[in-house]
Amino acid sequence: MDELRRTLSELKHLRRASIEKDMCTHPGVIGGLCIRCGQKVDDQSGVAFGYIHKDLRLGNDEVARIRKRDFKNLLRQKKLYLVLDLDHTLLNSTRLLDITPEEEYLRSQTHALQEPLKGSLFRLDYLHMLTKLRPFVRTFLKEASNLFEMYIYTMGERAYAMEMAKLLDPENVHFNSKVIAQGDCTQRHQKGLDVVLGHESAVLILDDTEPVWVKHKDNLILMERYNFFASSCRQFGFNCKSLSELKSDESEADGALATVLEVLKQIHGMFFDQKLGDNLVDRDVRKVLKTVRMEVLKGCKLVFSRVFPTKFQAEKHQLWKMAEQLGALCTTELDPSVTHVVSTDAGTEKSHWAVREKRFLVHPRWIEAANYLWQKQPEENFPVKQTKSQL
Amino acid sequence: MFFHIVLERNMQLHPRHFGRDLRDKLVAKLMKDVEGTCSGRHGFVVAITGIEHVGKGLIRDGTGFVTFPVKYQCVVFRPFKGEILEAVVTMVNKMGFFAEAGPVQIFVSNHLIPDDMEFQSGDMPNYTTSDGSVKIQKDSEVRLKIIGTRVDATEIFCIGTIKDDFLGVISDPGSTS
């Protein structure tokens, strides 16, 4: 009788276990096996997370579940997510065969790869490259890591990305399992937050290239490009001497990274502001970013002169939109409330009006500078030249 | 689980190796070819312990190569579903952790980690209980149960769990032993 009872309970246990296994929704697959029940799964649905493990795929529900749980965890630590681009944002690389004669002196100035914490110029023979880290980058990473969980997201190949991560983070503290490379993108030539395990409402992106972030423009902080090597300058069509050829560099204390760090601290402070009352989970860092941006040119009313091609719809121009994002009011007609005339030619009617009425007359680069430096710049630094007019 | 079994293999030898040391060269080639490989049936071949028998060599037509059937004893390692193993943690992230038991790599996802253990990110990411008494981080030793295996030519990959009784951390890397 006892034997029978024991067999029945064993059978029940087995039945329960097999039902559990049949009911498994296979939230994710690694190496062809379900991460929850261990069965072989052939499913190719969901998103590949090759940067965490080469054979890992996660279903959309699982990604949502992880994002939610991780977000709560991060909020407790008072942190947000920060996605960092590599090239021209945190560093600049050049191929050894692209080095110009004036850059030859750099070959003897490289630091040993075994001592990545010293110095900022490295030679990677197996990749045939020279890499220069942007000034202030180590301090930037150290301070940002107190406020953000950081990811690297590059359009370079994985091997390159991992080498750069080793230079920036030799102790593998910041970017452990968080280096996303070109092969991880789900769409060609586009970066996406779908492979980042964090809520979009809590992610900020630092990148020098806007077109790759079409779907996430609101999370993007555009960085001024870091072109140290001559080959980079050529790549972007600049015919002047590069920083390396001039034996100079971006300022450490005033450079782009130092500036953007202050902006990040400001956004972080505003996000975690206790006085706002509402639930942290409902807050959106994109709104905070927009608010901070709108402060830069607040109170300015701009009129453009000889900036847009004729018959071009002014409101659609990139500069107009940039100025509006920075908090300025843009208009096409002059009126007494206009504060700045943005012009490329000091001989136009509108330019003369500005001088006559003692308003500011500035070159369009004044707007771009405000965009990169997050501060209204002194107008006298952006004078407008008089081109040979037809009069 | 480890097994000590006898396997057989046909070894091809180039005529340049013929001579006084033929048998030694054959054994050396066998070791180079077989140790460190995996098969679905036997698992991972850890080491060859002895040669049981070397058969008569057959010359292959057209080439000078000679094929010898070799019977050898070896230690193999093969994980089984349901087996309980001890492993060392190699990496911890928000998905779970990776551990190694010899040549076998095991992944334990956070679905199969007890619910009271939370992921803590930082310079030493870990899973810790709410009271901090139990911690799983890199180099921790854990006892886990295998719930799925996959073998290919060069490696064995498993899914494991620590959600059952008597599974979990064996020792803390930080503690004195």
The tens digit of pLDDT for each residue in A109-158 reads 777 666 656 678 888 888 899 999 999 999 999 999 999 999 999 999 99
Q: Which of A32, A36, A39 sits opposite B109 (nearest CB)?
A: A36
What would the pLDDT profile of A58-102 be if each residue is shown by its tens digit?
Answer: 999 999 999 998 898 888 889 999 999 999 999 999 998 888 888
* Phi, psi at B168, each rounded to 5°: 130, -160
The SS3 call for residue A52 is coil
Q: ipTM score of the complex?
A: 0.79
A185 pLDDT above the threshold of 60: yes
Which has the higher per-residue pLDDT, A202 or A43?
Answer: A202
State residue A1's pLDDT score.
75
Do the chains contact at A70 and B94, CB–CB below 8 Å? yes
- For residues A217 and A333, is the Cβ–Cβ distance under 8 A? no
Give me the residues paired with residue B148 across strands: B159
What would the pLDDT profile of A14-28 be if each residue is shown by its tens digit?
Answer: 776 666 556 788 899
Say how far apart CA A197 and CA A58 lie, in whole Å: 11
State residue B155's pLDDT score.
81
Residues from chain B that touch A39, judged by Cβ atoms under 8 A, are 148
A9 pLDDT above the threshold of 80: no
Tell me whether A53 touches chain B (CB under 8 Å).
yes
Do the chains contact at B91 and A173, CB–CB below 8 Å? no
CB interface of A with B, residues 137-156, below 8 Å: 149
Residues from chain B that touch A66, judged by Cβ atoms under 8 A, are 94-95
Q: How far is B77 from chain A (nearest CA, A)?
A: 19
Do the chains contact at B95 and A52, CB–CB below 8 Å? yes
State residue A113's pLDDT score.
64
Q: How confident is the model at residue A390 (pLDDT cuts 50, 70, 90)?
A: very low
Give per-residue burial for A152-179: e unless 16+ CB within 10 Å, then b. bbbbbebebbebbbbbbbeeeebbbbbb
**Among A147, A197, A155, A151, which residue's Cα sits nearest to residue A176?**
A151
Do the chains contact at A37 and B147, CB–CB below 8 Å? yes
Say how far apart CA A252 and CA A261 lie, in whole Å: 12
- For residues A384 and A343, is the Cβ–Cβ distance under 8 A? yes
A373 pLDDT above the threshold of 90: no
Q: How confident is the model at residue A391 (pLDDT cuts 50, 70, 90)?
A: very low
Do the chains contact at A36 and B118, CB–CB below 8 Å? no
State residue A235's pLDDT score.
87
Residues from chain A that touch B79, judged by Cβ atoms under 8 A, are none
Say how far apart CA B116 and CA B98 lie, in whole Å: 19
Do the chains contact at B119 and A73, CB–CB below 8 Å? yes
Q: At A61, which amino acid appears?
A: D
Residues from chain A that touch B107, judged by Cβ atoms under 8 A, are 30-31, 35, 53
What would the pLDDT profile of B34-59 be if each residue is shown by its tens digit?
Answer: 998 888 888 899 999 999 999 999 99
Mean pLDDT within A158-172: 91
Average pLDDT of every residue of chain A: 87
Scanning every residue of chain B, which has its alpha carbon at the shortest distance from the alpha carbon of A169? B123
Report pTM: 0.84
Q: How far is A381 from chain B (nearest CA, A)?
A: 44
* Phi, psi at A16, each rounded to 5°: -65, -45
Tell me whether A37 touches chain B (CB under 8 Å).
yes
Residues from chain A that touch B109, judged by Cβ atoms under 8 A, are 28, 30, 35-36
State residue A23's pLDDT score.
79
What would the pLDDT profile of A303-326 be if each residue is shown by its tens digit?
Answer: 988 888 888 888 888 889 899 999
Q: Which residues contact B138 (CB under 8 A, 6 or more apart)?
A: B89, B90, B91, B92, B124, B173
A250 pLDDT above the threshold of 70: yes
Do the chains contact at A38 and B125, CB–CB below 8 Å? no
A296 pLDDT above the threshold of 50: yes
B173 pLDDT above the threshold of 70: no
A214 pLDDT above the threshold of 70: yes
CB interface of A with B, residues 67-86, below 8 Å: 70, 73-74, 77
Q: HSE (CB half, 13 Å, CA atoms) of B72? A: 25
State residue B6's pLDDT score.
95
How many helices (H) and strands (E) would you count in chain A? 10, 16
State residue B177's pLDDT score.
36
A389 pLDDT above the threshold of 70: no
A196 pLDDT above the threshold of 60: yes
State residue B176's pLDDT score.
41
The SS3 call for residue A279 is coil
Q: Which residues contact A209 (CB under 8 A, 6 or more apart)?
A: A85, A88
Q: At A60, which amino acid appears?
A: N
A290 pLDDT above the threshold of 60: yes
For residue B3 the two structure tokens come to: 């097994």
Query: Within its chain, how far is the Cα of B39 from the centroid?
Result: 11
State residue A20's pLDDT score.
59
